[in-house]
């Protein structure tokens, strides 16, 4: 684990950094860099709807050709599925020897969608939180942990640059962890699919459907299977699973162990090993890339189906009835 004391901020002081993209991670990392005193530009498409916002945030907007020519460090923060075209259409032919490219996810490098020129520094700096949290914690004087990795170290200073960059986006305040592109990519995809997104979503929807199909109220089914999820996750976040189990009733704790041992554990482990294998052998990435080439036919079908699921309509109506006391209602 590395912290601010291990980082040399001066390494970036005379560097020109361009952040490509101004989405979740793009806006956060760019603003944190600027507030850390680093000369930072933002690269957007000429017709981007974010141009005015970026300018209001105090950045000069440049196009990709200017970014490649003038920047010491390019930070590619557009969606994974668009990075290959960006690299081969604009970057590879024009980028100069010794320049640095930073990614925040190892997908395109690890799965060989981008095979960079061997005279570049290729670095990973992956904050472990959504962009709005990267920004809000920085503004509070804290930060989120980041993973760093080096794929190519042409100038023999890539690790120090990764530390310095991480410091400037706030991660040195809480912790920076060294890893590899392979490990970051595969564990990130696995965590998203098996637990954080796919796992939780599947549990919530299956639980909701099971209760509703058994004749229970959709409203109460929503509360039991979705609404209370945050309360449990907060307890786990604060002190681990042990803290959550300490905080719940004996009935809930006994039910936790009972169901885990009798029903879930062995089944989930078998399924998760298949999920991990599918990531390791490249099958998931191939399917994702193929769907992108077909304009995300499968992705859009899934989005349409699940956005109209009963649990979404029930939740929308319930959330409107809560007394949020001036908090914004999320539909």
Q: Is 188 annotated as a binding residue?
A: yes
Q: Is 172 annotated as a binding residue?
A: no
Q: Is 23 annotated as a binding residue?
A: yes
End-to-end CA distance of the chain: 39
Q: Is 171 annotated as a binding residue?
A: no
Taking CA atoms, 246 is separated from 196, 235, 243, in Å, by: 22, 9, 5
Do 40 and 59 meet the contact criterion of CB atoms below 8 Å apart? yes
Residue 39 has, within 13 A of its CA and on its CB side, a CA count of 12
For 242, phi then psi, to 5°, come to -60, -40
Q: Is 83 annotated as a binding residue?
A: no
3-state secondary structure of 24: helix
Q: Is 191 annotated as a binding residue?
A: no
Q: Is 90 annotated as a binding residue?
A: no
Helix (H) or strand (E) holding 125: strand 121-127
Note the maximum CA span of the chain: 66
DSSP-assigned states of every residue in 216-243: --HHHHHIIIIITHHHHHHHHHHHHHHH
Q: Is 39 annotated as a binding residue?
A: no
Query: 32 Cβ partners below 8 Å, 6+ apart?
Result: 134, 135, 138, 168, 169, 170
Active site amino acids: 105
d(CA 323, CA 248) in angstroms, rounded, equals 25
Taking CA atoms, 281 is separated from 182, 198, 275, 284, in Å, by: 12, 19, 10, 8
Q: Is 48 annotated as a binding residue?
A: yes
Q: Is 22 annotated as a binding residue?
A: yes
3-state secondary structure of 74: strand
Q: Is 153 annotated as a binding residue?
A: no
Residue 13 carries which DSSP code?
T
Do 70 and 43 meet the contact criterion of CB atoms below 8 Å apart? no
d(CA 4, CA 145) in angstroms, rounded, equals 12
Q: Is 72 annotated as a binding residue?
A: no
Q: Which residues are annotated as a binding site for NADP(+)?
A: 22-25, 45, 48, 131
Q: Which residues are annotated as a binding site for Mg(2+)?
A: 188, 192, 224, 228
Q: Which residues are annotated as a binding site for substrate?
A: 249
Q: Which residues are annotated as a binding site?
A: 22-25, 45, 48, 131, 188, 192, 224, 228, 249
């Amino acid at each position: 684990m590395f912290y601010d004391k291990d980082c040399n901020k001066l390494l970036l002081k005379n560097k020109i950094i361009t952040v490509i993209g101004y989405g979740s991670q793009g806006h956060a990392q760019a603003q944190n860099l600027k507030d850390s005193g680093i000369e930072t530009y933002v690269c957007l498409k000429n017709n981007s709807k974010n141009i005015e916002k970026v300018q209001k945030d105090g950045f000069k907007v440049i196009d990709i050709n200017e970014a490649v020519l003038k920047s010491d460090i390019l930070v590619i923060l557009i969606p994974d599925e668009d990075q290959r075209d960006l690299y081969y259409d604009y970057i590879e032919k024009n980028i100069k020897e010794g320049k640095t490219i930073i990614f925040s996810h190892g997908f395109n490098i690890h799965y060989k969608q981008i095979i960079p020129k061997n005279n570049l520094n290729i670095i990973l700096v992956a904050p472990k939180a959504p962009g709005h949290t990267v920004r809000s914690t920085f503004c509070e004087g804290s930060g989120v942990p980041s993973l760093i990795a080096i794929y190519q170290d042409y100038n023999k200073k890539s690790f120090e640059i990764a530390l310095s960059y991480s410091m400037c986006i706030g991660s040195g305040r809480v912790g920076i962890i060294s890893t590899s592109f392979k490990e970051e990519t595969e564990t990130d995809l696995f965590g998203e699919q098996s637990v954080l997104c796919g796992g939780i979503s599947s549990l919530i929807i299956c639980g909701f459907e099971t209760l509703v199909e058994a004749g229970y109220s959709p409203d109460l089914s929503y509360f039991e299977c979705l609404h209370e999820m945050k309360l449990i996750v907060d307890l786990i976040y604060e002190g681990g699973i042990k803290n959550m189990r300490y905080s719940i009733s004996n009935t809930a704790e006994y039910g936790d162990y009972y169901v885990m041992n009798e029903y879930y554990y062995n089944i989930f482990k078998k399924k998760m090993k298949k999920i991990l294998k599918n990531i390791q052998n490249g099958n998931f990435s191939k399917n994702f890339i193929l769907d992108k080439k077909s304009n995300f036919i499968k992705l859009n079908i899934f989005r349409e189906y699940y956005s109209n699921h009963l649990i979404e309509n029930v939740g929308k109506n319930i959330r409107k009835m809560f007394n949020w006391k001036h908090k914004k209602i999320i539909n």
